Amino acid sequence: MKNKYIYHSKISEAKFREIVKLFYHDLNAITVAKLTGVNRNSVNVLFNKFRIRIAEICKTESPIQPEKEEFEVDESYFGPT
């Protein structure tokens, strides 16, 4: 039961794929833990790792690089007051 996605994991690859699929469907950790039979804390750790990785990918692939560019904002974007 080797998992090619996470090294030294005790979760099988099939369970891991199921967790990813349920994460995609936006289920909470308690529901995913009940459906897969994996501990809720393990699911929480995996969900946190998924979110961190998604944020890293979004940051690198973003067409706007705030560190490199300057932005000018008009006051009309700040609302009615």
1-43 pLDDT, tens digit per residue, is 688 888 888 899 999 999 999 999 999 999 999 999 999 999 9
**Per-residue pLDDT band at 56 (split at 50, 70, 90):** very high
Q: How far apart are CA 52 and CA 35, in angstroms?
A: 24
Calculate the CA 24 to chain-centre distance: 9
Is 74 within a domain?
A: no
Q: What is the structure's pLDDT at 81? A: 58
Domain housing 55: 13-63
| pLDDT digits 0-9 by tens, 58-78 | 888 877 766 666 666 676 666
Task: Single out the residue of 22, 62, 25, 29 nearest to residue 48, CA to CA.
Answer: 29
Task: Single out the residue of 49, 50, 25 nearest to residue 36, CA to CA.
Answer: 25
Report, in angstroms and rounded to the nearest whole number, the Rg of the chain calculated over CA atoms: 19
Place of tokens 């039979």: 37
Q: What is the structure's pLDDT at 60? A: 86
Is 3 within a domain?
A: no
Is 70 within a domain?
A: no
Is 75 within a domain?
A: no
Place of tokens 């469907």: 25
Which tokens sit at 25? 């469907």
Is 29 within a domain?
A: yes
Q: What is the structure's pLDDT at 61? A: 84
| The total number of structural domains that make up the chain | 1
Is 50 within a domain?
A: yes
Is 21 within a domain?
A: yes
Is 35 within a domain?
A: yes
Q: What is the structure's pLDDT at 39? A: 96
